[in-house]
Amino acid sequence: MKNKSIKKIASFLPINLLIAVFLFDGLTIVSQLRIKEAMIIRDLALIVGFLLLVPALTRIKWLNVKEPYKNVLAVLFCMLGLYFAMTFIAFFAESTRDYAFTGHSVKDLVLLTLASFGCTGFIILIMHKLQALIYIKRKRTTERNFRFLIVVMLIEVLYAEFRFLLSGKDANAVTTLMSEAGVGQAILALFVLFIVINSFRNSWISYLTKSQKIKSLFLSILFAISPLLFHKQFSPTAIRYSLAMDTLLSQLAVLLSVYWFTAATVILFHLPTAGIVDRKMQEIRSFRDLSRALSSEFDFKKLIDKISGLSIEITGANATYLQIYNTSTDRLHLVSYRNLLAPEIRELQEDPQTSVGYAVLQDRKPIWINNISKDNQLQYLRKWKRRFESVIAVPLMSYDKILGVLCVLKFQEYGFIPEDLDLMQAFADHAAIALENSRLVNESIEKERLEQELKVAHEAQMKLLPKTMPTMQGLDIDAICVTANEVGGDYFDFFQFDEHRIGVVVGDVSGKGAQAAFYMAEVKGIIKSLSQSHLSPRELLIRANDILCESFERTIFVSLIYAVIDRQKKEIVFSRAGHCPLLWYRKDDSDSQFVEPRGIGVGLVRGALFGQIIEEKVLPLSPGDTLLLFTDGVIEARNRKLQELEEESLRKLFTDFTQGTSSEIKKKLVGEIRTFVGSEKTHDDLTLVVVKIN
């Protein structure tokens, strides 16, 4: 609690001191009393009040800029403010040389006090900005030397006030003692010493651009001359108004003149190499921007445009272009460029072998030519000699794989130096990493998008398949659909017409993935709608073909097998449209056989031709008979040796398993298929429908 109270009092102390100064000035005008001791206390209170405000200045963002050039400009504005404040005081000052207040009205009091506050405040601000410049890249002794300078300045102010206090009094002994001891000379010597020490603290000049150095040179000359002229003009007014202010102005004039004269000299020595420094800073910014792009920019178009722009910035080139290598075509493709004419762009697009990138692609080494028109290596570029004379081209390599070629060009001969080649190689390495990261991220995003799309389509597909198996007296039915790549085009469904008849359909849409699943959904809807008309299997497939041919693309077709089982007639009537045959186990023969009526896939042919091809079969059914409807994913299942299961193997397995229920037959068949495939991925959908006659 005590600490908080102390901080609260300390925060209000500077304001209280300044208010006290204002009230003192008012009292002086009213009473017409001019007491030296009181005037000295007033000056010291004004200075202390502003010094105590310095910590508050460090918390004001717009007053605490880090850029050196902005601090130089801040000194300029503070000096202008000081000039106008002193002009105010000079305007209201009387010609008397007495050290006393010169205002005689409340208006004068307000203006003079505000001007006094302004002068002191601007002096403090100038010192604050000067401190910011001196502290740049500071050493261990920098802060100590600057503080010593401030202390010596305050001591000199106190010494001036003390001498003023003794003036006119019978104190010759004290004055003589101080003069003989050389107190004033010692203070002045220390002041000059610390000014010189601090004047060499000008590391901030190294961080200016060439244009900023030129501007700062003129400002430094202005700052070195103007304070002396300023002090000569306003010193008579300042000393009549406030001895402390006159002393501070004198100190500031000397400090600014010495410091900025030194700064101007240093800037002159820096100017010949200023362009190199600018370039180095530009290189740092370019690599920083590229590093940011490496971590944040994965859009390919934005990235290649960024690479083209930065390559011009770091080399000062007049033009640039970026070519990406396509491994499938073994060609370079122009993807980004800057400052190329239409004929040059067209030439790079139509015949990339005319570009310098082709030579880089062959050797996988950078090329640096400073005279295109005279270099035999680049004869094919001589048609460009009217525009460009210097070129650097570097490969973009990721591990041992070449991604492309980055080329920069200049109009003049010998436009590039060896350092440019090193820079471009380093830049190309960063750019290659950025491009490779962009490719990997985009592939990952695309893969994730496809996986999400497949997941949604898979869920939709599973919802389209029957959730429960149909139950009908005398029939035992079970089915399964296993999709490849999350989503496929396999499909099965059941349609119970009455207590004696049930329809079964199995289909396989060409292709894989979400597209096949969407076409499967369309087929399901059409077959379900047509089944309600109680058409024969052949008629249903003909009608379905007529409808689907209108909506299917030319590259899409679907194989179907549609059967109607009549328990009362003890028969199955079915047709197939390019689908796998029906596998029929006859209990009486204890053997299985494939039944394959003629048919062609739905969507392959239109009109009457389809009906002419489609054949309908009728098979008698007896208790113990078993039917298997399946898709080609079953017989085309492959093992690690790329051997397929094939129809004969399926027939034998099915014959062996027919003694069980339909569910047991399904599980055994799926188990044998998975054992045959092993660890290999299924490349096609797999669908089984088992119907056992009880």
pLDDT for 416 equals 85
Q: Does pTM top 0.75 for this prediction?
A: no
Backbone angles phi, psi at 233, to 5 degrees: -75, -40
Quick check: 188 and 152 in contact, CB under 8 A?
Answer: no
Quick check: 378 and 372 in contact, CB under 8 A?
Answer: yes
Distance in angstroms (rounded) separating the CA atoms of residues 559 and 632 = 10
Quick check: 626 and 665 in contact, CB under 8 A?
Answer: yes
Name which of 569, 560, 571, 507 is nearest 538 in CA terms: 560
Distance in angstroms (rounded) separating the CA atoms of residues 42 and 49 = 10
Query: Residue 353: enclosing H or E segment and its boundaries?
Result: none
Q: What is the DSSP string of 323-341?
A: EEEETTTTEEEEEEEES--
Name which of 304, 303, 308 is nearest 338 in CA terms: 308
Distance in angstroms (rounded) separating the CA atoms of residues 620 and 572 = 7
List, in sequence order, the alpha helices (H) in 316-417.
342-350, 356-363
Residue 651: CB partners within 8 Å, gap ≥ 6? Answer: 583, 592, 593, 594
Residue type (1 letter), 645: L
Q: What six digits make up the tokens of 594?
A: 């494939």
Quick check: 627 and 691 in contact, CB under 8 A?
Answer: yes
DSSP 3-state assignment of 434?
helix
Quick check: 368 and 350 in contact, CB under 8 A?
Answer: no
Backbone angles phi, psi at 324, to 5 degrees: -105, 135
Looking at residue 637, the DSSP 8-state letter turns out to be -
Cα dihedral 258, 263, 265, 266 sign: positive
Residue 600: CB partners within 8 Å, gap ≥ 6? Answer: 577, 578, 610, 613, 614
Q: What is the CA radius of gyration of the chain?
A: 47
pLDDT for 422 equals 82
Q: Which residues of 215-228 are buried (b: 16+ CB within 10 A; e: fewer)?
A: bbbebbeebbebbe
Segments in the chain below pLDDT 70: 1-12, 14-15, 18, 22, 25-37, 49-51, 53-63, 91-113, 166-181, 236-242, 274, 276-277, 279-297, 351-355, 373-386, 457, 484-488, 511-514
Name which of 477, 508, 481 is nearest 494 in CA terms: 477
pLDDT in tens, 17-61: 767 776 776 666 566 656 666 777 777 777 776 667 666 666 666
Quick check: 46 and 21 in contact, CB under 8 A?
Answer: yes
- Sheet containing 616-620: which strands, arranged edge to edge? 490-496, 501-509, 558-566, 571-577, 616-620
Distance in angstroms (rounded) separating the CA atoms of residues 506 and 490 = 8
Distance in angstroms (rounded) separating the CA atoms of residues 313 and 307 = 10
Distance in angstroms (rounded) separating the CA atoms of residues 380 and 466 = 69
DSSP 3-state assignment of 66?
coil
Q: Supply the mean pLDDT for the chain.
A: 80
